[in-house]
Structure 1
C-alpha cells in the first residue's frame, strides 16, 4: 500500500468558539423580558443586570440578533470548508439552550424554501453543500461526495437516512454500535450508511428526509424542540494531479461533521415530566459528560472520560484530537433566560481552552478507496443478512478484542 505523506507542518490550535445571540421570542417579551446582549458583531458578550450577575465574556466571534445566516456562514463556515477541501477533518457543533437557534443555525428553515442554499434563511448545512459542489465544479477535478446523518436519542444511535416509516429503527435491528477501528479512521459507527450524492440538491434532499425523522417535542422553551443530538457528515474525495510511482491516481479526502446538539437547559426549566423528564435526563447526561471531557482536556488530566457517553465517544477526535473544531454557542437575549445564558457562556468559555492538533488526512491511491468501499459493502451485506435471520453479527475474535463497541 503506497503512502503519501503531507509535508506541511501541523500546529496546535485552540477550538474556535463563536457565540450567536437570538432575539427574545414573543413569549419572553410578553413576560417583560429585555435584551441583555447588545453587540451585532464583535468578540465580547456583556450580561447586564445587578452587580452579582453583570459580567463580560470574550470569544473568537460574537453575532448579535441582527446577524444573518450569510454573515455566520461567511465568517465562520466558509474558511472551515476550505480546510476540508485541503484534506482536513473538521467539526462544527451548535450548543445552547432550547429555543436559541441551534437547529435554525445549522439547518435553516428546510420547509419554506431555504433548502436552495442561497436564500436568507438557509442554514449552515445547505450553504455548505451548495458552496462545496460549486467549488468542486470550479476546480474541474474528479471528485465524489458522501453524506451520512445519524441521531443519538436516549443513548441510542439510529441512521436517519435508512428507512422511511416509523418502524424503520426497530426493523433495522435497533441502535447502531460504535467502536474504535484502531486505524486512521478512528471511531466508526457500525452499519451507518453513507450515501453518494451527485449534487447539492440531492444532498439537501437527504438532509430534509433525515430532519423530518428526528425526535421533536414541545417544551416550555420551544414549541418544536429537537430532543436528540444529530450529526450530518460530509466526506469529500478529490483526485489530485499527481500520481503514485505505480502510475495510480492520488486522492485527498476531507470530512466535515455538522453537529446539532439537543437543548442544554435543566429538566425544571424545560417543563419535562414523566417520559420527557427521562428523555431530558438522557440529554443532560451526554452534555454533562461533554462538560467533563472539556474540563479534563483543559486541566490536562491523564484520563478523559470519552467513553462515558456515545456522544463524546463519537466526536472525541474533535475534542483534543486531530480535527479542526468550531463551537457555535447559541444564547437568548431575554432577561428571564440569564441563568441559562450565563451557563452556556461559561461552558463555551471553558471550551476555548481545548487545544487540538489538526493533521491533514493521508493521501491515498484510488485503488485503496475502491478496496475500502468493497469491504464496507461486504460488511453491510453480512450485517443485513444477520439482522434478517436473527443470527446476530459475526466478528473474528481478534476484531472483537480490537473493536470493542459501546
Structure 2
C-alpha cells in the first residue's frame, strides 16, 4: 500500500471559453517540481507574488491522466487491496473540481479521476475474479454546497441528504 499520509495537491485548470471571451488573464504561476504556486495581485508589479507550497502542483499543461497516475493511482491501488480511500476535491465554484473529477471526453488524457478510478477498480476485479475472489464495491460522490449535501450518484442528484451521526458513535464509550 502507498503512503498513508494525507496529501494536499493543487491543480490549475485552463481558462474556459467564458473566461477567454471576457479577456481574463492568468495571475497564477507554478513551480510544479517543487509543488509551489505563486499568485500575483493584478496590476501590482511592485508587490511580490504570494507563495504557497503543496505536496503536488499541476498546472494547465499537465493532464488529468498525469495527475491520476501520480496521486490517485496509488490510493486506488490500495482500495483494490481492501483499504478505504478518499479523494476530497475542494474549491470555490468554477475552480475546476468537476473538470478534474468528472473530466471531459476529449482529449482522452483529460478523462476525469472518477471514471479512471472506476476503470482501475473494475479491471483489478476482473483479474482477481479468475481466482474466485468476491468483491463489494461502494462509491460515494457527494456535493456539499451552502451546507446542503447531495448524492451526485443517486437517482435524484437534486434531493438533499440528511447528515446523521453513526450509531456506533452514539454509544457511551465514544465521546464526540
1:137 corresponds to which of 120, 126, 131: 126
> How far apart are residue 26 of structure 1 and its match?
4.6
1:23 to 2, 14, 18: 14
Normalising by structure 2, what TM-score? 0.72
Unaligned runs of 5+ in 2: none
State how far apart, in whole Å, the 2-side matches of 1:43 and 1:51 are.
24
Partner residue of 1:71?
66
**Runs of at least 4 residues off by over 6 Å:** none
CA contact (8 A) 2:13 2:95 kept: yes
Describe the shift of the 1:94–1:53 C-alpha distance in structure 2 as closer, same or farther (beyond 3 A): farther
* Distance of 1:54 and 1:81 partners within structure 2: 35
Does residue 36 (structure 1) correspond to residue 36 (structure 2)? The answer is no
CA–CA distance in structure 1, aligned partners of residues 96 and 166 of structure 2: 32
Aligned to 1:81: 76
- Quote the residue 1:98 is aligned against: 93
Tell me the SS of whatever aligns to 1:46: strand
Q: How many residues matched?
A: 163
Which has the bigger relative contact order, CA under 8 A and spacing at least 6? 1
Q: Distance in 2 between matches of 1:78 and 1:149?
A: 18
> Which one has a bigger Cα radius of gyration?
1
Which whole-Å CA distance do the structure 1 matches of 2:156 and 2:52 have between them?
A: 44
**Aligned pair 1:180/2:169, yes or no?**
no
Give the drift of 1:92. Answer: 1.1
TM-score (norm 1): 0.35
Cα distance, 1:47 vs structure 2: 2.8
- Gapped runs of 5+ residues in structure 1? 1-10, 184-400
The structure that is helix-richer by fraction is 1
If each structure's strand is expressed as a fraction of its own residues, which one has the higher value? 1
